[in-house]
Amino acid sequence: MDNHPSSPAVLEGHPCFDEQAHDRVGRVHLPVAPRCNIRCAFCEHRVCANLTMQHPGWTRELLSPEQALQRIKNLVHSQVDRRFVVGVAGPGEPLENDETFETLAAVHRAYPHLIKCVSSNGLRLQERLQEMLSVGITSLTVTVNAVDPEVGQRIYEWVRYEDATYRGREAAEVLIKNQWAGIRDALVAGLAVKVNTVLIPGINDQHVREIASRLRQAGVGLMNLMPLLPAGRMSDRRAPTCEELQAARSACEVLVPQFRRCEHCRADIVYMPGEHHYARRMPLRPQV
């Protein structure tokens, strides 16, 4: 059996790409990427030791690349019979932080058999793709909430790119253009690509099928529609109902397969199969 991280058999066992693997394969997010280059209206970054729930962009603490590598060493030592993947998903934008690449390069040198992945907004995906490949990243999630700038300008407050800050429609145009250029190149490079879309009632709920159509045209093989978690400037907006989420998934599934097991993982989650607690605090020193 081929155990190289990029082999189809291994990628099918990624818990964020394969629903059958969701409860069989662990996932570890390393919170090494604090800075972000866009501002989503629903976004809320938080670094707080008292966090008790799952929420994207939240973490109990930030780790240095050295601390992150130590966390993986501890897990490899203590979880010998459990498979897990290693990712960077924040709390900011992974591709805006050099610490992402330093961390995953160190993990790849020490444990080349582990699947490495990132979750990105895609703004700098095209320009950092070769670096991603060089540190062993084989799977990628890109969050795409709009393909029409008219819709996107209601979601993105600002975008910082190449020493300029864009707002309104122009911000959405810059982000959307870069996202699709990066997704195209990532697919050509052989990365497994999933697209996350936050379903926001009254803003992009009638637009998600258009996103799915664009994904199909590009060759993206998996879409994850996520319900809005009201926060930030959208703290007063309601989340979609279960019926609305199901209807949106059904409409999009005609065009591209849907992933239904997402749990809005934090940027520091440590989950292992058979354990019933998430984001537990891992010691930075091996336990004797």
Tokens for 189?
A: 């490079």
Per-domain residue ranges for the chain? Answer: 8-271
Residue with tokens 């989950």: 271
Q: What is the pLDDT along the chain (288 residues), one digit of tens a residue?
A: 344 444 444 456 775 666 666 667 788 999 999 999 999 999 887 666 666 666 677 787 899 999 999 999 998 888 767 788 899 988 999 999 999 999 999 999 999 999 999 999 999 999 999 999 999 999 999 999 999 999 999 999 999 999 999 999 999 999 999 999 999 999 999 999 999 999 999 999 999 999 999 999 999 999 999 999 888 899 899 999 999 999 999 999 999 999 887 767 778 888 777 654 444 444 443 332
Q: Residue 26: its pLDDT value, please?
A: 80
Q: Residue 16: its pLDDT value, please?
A: 67
* H or E stretch covering 141: strand 137-143
| Nearest to 218, CA basis, from 173, 251, 256 | 256
Q: Residue 173: its pLDDT value, please?
A: 98
Contacts of 7-14 with C-beta under 8 Å, sequence gap 24+, read 10/115, 11/115, 11/138, 11/139, 11/192, 13/83, 14/85, 14/115, 14/117, 14/139, 14/192
CATH of domain 8-271: 3.20.20.70
Q: Residue 238: its pLDDT value, please?
A: 95
Q: Residue 68: its pLDDT value, please?
A: 96
Judge residue 286's burial from the number of C-beta atoms within 10 Å of its C-beta, 0-12 exposed, 13-18 middle, 19 or more buried.
exposed
Q: Residue 286: its pLDDT value, please?
A: 36
Sign of the C-alpha dihedral computed for residues 280, 281, 285 and 287 taken in this order: negative
51 Cα distance to chain centroid:
20
| Backbone conformation region of residue 71, classed left if phi is above 0, alpha if psi is from -120 to 50, else beta | alpha
CA dist 114 and 33 (Å) reads: 20
Residue with tokens 């009638």: 206
* H or E stretch covering 184: helix 168-188
Q: Residue 82: its pLDDT value, please?
A: 73
CA dist 96 and 94 (Å) reads: 5
Q: Residue 239: its pLDDT value, please?
A: 93
